[in-house]
Amino acid sequence: MFRALAAASPSARALGQPGRRLLPAATRRHLSWAREEPSEPHVVTSAVPGPASKAALEKLSALQDTRAATFVGDYAKSTGNYIVDADGNVFLDLYCQIASIPVGYNNTALIAAAKSDQMATTLANRPALGVFPSTDWAQLLEDSFMRVRPPGMDMVFTTAHGSDANELAYKAAFLHYARKRRGARAFTQTELESVMDNIPPGSPEVAILSFSAGFHGRTFGALSTTRSKAIHKLDMPAFKWPRAPFPQLQYPEDAHREENAAEEKRCLAELDRILQRNEVPVAAVVVEPIQSEGGDRHASPEFFRGVRRITAKHGVLLIVDEVQTGCGATGAFWAHEHWELETPPDMVTFSKKMQAAGFYHSREMVADQPFRNFNTWLGDPARALIARAIVSEVLDNALVEQVRGTGDYLLGHLRPLAIRYHRLVANVRGQGTFVAFDCPTPAMRSELLDLMRREGVNMGGSGEVAVRFRPMLTLTNRHVNLFLTRFESVLNKMYKKHWPQ
């Protein structure tokens, strides 16, 4: 089938990356989920979770901690943008497994990939990819991750999950830092002995800098860069790594241009100061394009270009954490493409919607010896097969373009509601369908989310008071209309309860 070259993004053009392959509009196949989806949400229980979910959770609680569970999903019955629970409730899913479902539940292309002979062979014979890669591994990498590689990235390091991706990117940064300092000389005997006691010079004092309210995972090293909620970090030993302030923008942005510009300037100045004066040298800075778990905190492209200039000035690597923002949700395949950087980041981590994990990097980030940045599996070909199907669905059906249109439609309707219901909805913000607003208190946020589930819309929170939209790329204006009807109903109920006239 004929494939046309898509027009490259501004950043891709600037960095010389060829455009990504898309099918011409006339030949794009219609996604099967659109025919099979329910016409609208439908809730049959008086509360969520319902009795069947509660019973399933009670049984599961004997084996695992279930206190964070919202309801129990029936994934065999879930379709497209709709998730079905154990009670038969049908929800329009705007949360999507914490931002991790890209192209619909039971998408036929993903089901076909799961049933393929290649998948069966992979599942029955999982390889240790670092020492015994399969004959089809290089081609699978080309057809999946490298098909959507960010501008300036030559290679991909596959891992198990998002936190793991960040953790291994940090290791790559430390190895790169040490190699620059050591040069061509061999390891000293003192280095070889001291490292076994976890002390310098074998275990050097080097840091990763992160930003206030950032979230980069819960594994040990990643947790030292996570700054979103205290409960994530309490009682865990941590590296004494520095943090820089992340801008706290005011909304609407058009009315606060000067204040926001001053805030970003302040944060950049502090980042520059820390990199100049921190008592422990910094090997890399890690940053999210949108601070997701920290409350959907945004910054301008100018701010991120400033971050890149400052890291380059100090010879510090830049790691962009696209675990939650990657794979199209912001209206670009990679959110950092919106920044139009003159020089690319050094590493870009990913997971969630890609249904696989890892980090992209240049050849310069490869360790100087084998086995230094390594584990048994180094990813999973089974996840790469699913990622290949996801990438094809996204590109062949122009879903990133669709996200831009649907996101504009959603934001265009949320902003007037924020004026009408200003006591409940504030600070509407977003890129693409990666959208959020703030409630006045955590309690009211919880109440709103519960009422939305009773109306048949599954949503989630971020930070202390934000409500976040993390829909699939397949969300359309029709789905937004279904949400808006139920959202306004919930807002009216809450107004009558809390501010009776």
Q: Tell me the pairing of strands 434-438 and 466-469.
A: antiparallel
The Cα–Cα gap between 134 and 140 comes to 10
Please list the residues that pair with 438 across neighbouring strands.
426, 466
Task: Classify 385 as helix, strand or coil.
Answer: helix
The Cα–Cα gap between 84 and 105 comes to 10
Given 145, 211, 215, 333, which residue is catalytic?
Answer: 215
- Would residue 333 show up in a list of annotated catalytic residues for this protein? no
Question: Which of the 8 DSSP states describes residue 80?
Answer: B
Given 27, 121, 190, 376, which residue is catalytic?
Answer: 376
Given 74, 85, 272, 321, which residue is catalytic?
Answer: 321
- Would residue 376 show up in a list of annotated catalytic residues for this protein? yes
Burial per residue of 261-292, b for 16 or more beta-carbon CB atoms within 10 angstroms, e otherwise: eebbeebbeebbebbeeeeeebbbbbbbbbbb
CA angle 31, 328, 380 (to 5 degrees): 85
CA nearest to 440, candidates 371, 498, 396, 490: 498
- Would residue 321 show up in a list of annotated catalytic residues for this protein? yes
Under 8 Å between Cβ of 69 and 460: no
Question: Which of the 8 DSSP states describes residue 32?
Answer: T
CA nearest to 107, candidates 383, 373, 327, 393: 393
- Would residue 343 show up in a list of annotated catalytic residues for this protein? no
The Cα–Cα gap between 67 and 287 comes to 30
Under 8 Å between Cβ of 457 and 468: no
For 250-319, give the DSSP string: -SSGGGGHHHHHHHHHHHHHHHHHHHHH-SS-EEEEEE-SSBTTTT-B---HHHHHHHHHHHHHHT-EEE
Q: Which two tokens stand for residue 455?
A: 């109306």
Is 416 buried (19+), middle (13-18) or exposed (0-12) by CB count in 10 A?
exposed
Given 352, 433, 437, 469, which residue is catalytic?
Answer: 352
The Cα–Cα gap between 158 and 219 comes to 17
Please give the positions annotated as active site: 215, 321, 352, 376
